[in-house]
Amino acid sequence: MIRILTIGDIVGAATVDALGAVLWKQRAALKADLVIANGENTTGIHGLGAKDAVRILDCGVDLITLGNHTYGMRDLYPLLDSRTNEIIRPLNYPPSAPGCGYVIRDVCGWRVLCMNVNGTSFMEPLASPFDTVERVLDREEGRYDVSILDLHAEATSEKYAVARYFDGKITAIFGTHTHVTTADEQVLPHGTGYITDLGMSGPDDGILGTKTEAVLTKMRDKMPAHFTVAEGTIVLRGALFTLDPSAKRCISVQRVIL
């Protein structure tokens, strides 16, 4: 069996500090063989800076996934090209964009294909996540034992459609981006472990990790506002997937709060 701990969107530098304080102990307690965290909102909400990326990896995260704010911090670009085993960006950006959208990691002697893709409903008009992911599966056929996908998307319907389409073809699929944990963790009929959204790892005293006043200024008053990271108690949310590589299926999905 392989146990993969996935951590929802990290918001703010203080959350990285909190992660560093507990992750090594928690991954041992959960017997996690691989830890994947979405880091696209870590640095000032709209991106991931190079220093914060290194800090997240030092906390005990094995692989960072990203999303629609992938290119918000230019100092990350060199790391996207030089540390592709540890940081991946959505597959469906053009090939000319820095970085790579997937990696095959060795985990307990098994080959784990880790992928990241953006949704396109209510988001950037990138290439189809269906076609893009399918091309990778075809290209890497025979080179991996199990697979996992970070589906960074706005619409829950799109996430569920992707999961149903790849049920039995991808071993585990978890959603990120909305910052709200969903209660639909499950193993789909053909063996794919799934949860629509892991939720946010960040300060709860705000709106999706952002200071409340700025969000209200924009949404209620329709005035420009500068979004900054909220303060308050930090909660680290995610899910633990248990995979059976020999059967190429997920055994269980469990929501976790670290």
The pLDDT tens digits for 215-252 are 999 999 999 988 999 999 999 999 999 999 999 999 99
Residue 213 one-letter amino acid: E
pLDDT recorded at residue 30: 97
Is the Cβ–Cβ distance between 54 and 75 less than 8 Å? no
CA distances (Å), origin 188, targets 6, 43, 213, 247: 18, 35, 40, 15
Q: How much of the chain, in percent, has pLDDT values that exceed 70?
A: 100
Weakest-pLDDT range from 15-24, 84-93, 207-216: 207-216
According to the model, what pLDDT value does residue 50 have?
98
Phi first, then psi: what are they for 48, rounded to 5°? -135, 115
What is residue 225's predicted lDDT score, i.e. its pLDDT? 86
CATH number of 240's domain: 3.60.21.10
Average pLDDT, the chain: 97
Q: Which domain holds residue 108?
A: 2-257
pLDDT, tens only, 164-190: 999 999 999 999 999 999 999 999 999
How many angstroms separate the CA atoms of 224 and 36, rounded? Answer: 34
Please say if 69 is a catalytic residue. Answer: yes
From the candidates 46, 69, 152, 179, give the one annotated as an active-site residue.
69
Rg of the chain taking only CA atoms, in angstroms: 17
Mean pLDDT of 102-111: 98
- Is pLDDT above 90 for 5? yes
Enter the pTM of the model: 0.97
| Average pLDDT estimate for 7-11 | 98
Query: Is the alpha carbon torsion for 150, 151, 153, 159 positive or negative?
Result: negative
Residues 6 or more apart whose CB falls under 8 angstroms from that of 24 comprise 59, 60
DSSP class of 55: H
Q: State the pLDDT at residue 82.
A: 97
Q: What is the tally of structural domains in the chain?
A: 1
What does the pLDDT read at residue 15?
97
pLDDT in tens, 18-59: 999 999 999 999 999 999 999 999 998 999 999 999 999 999
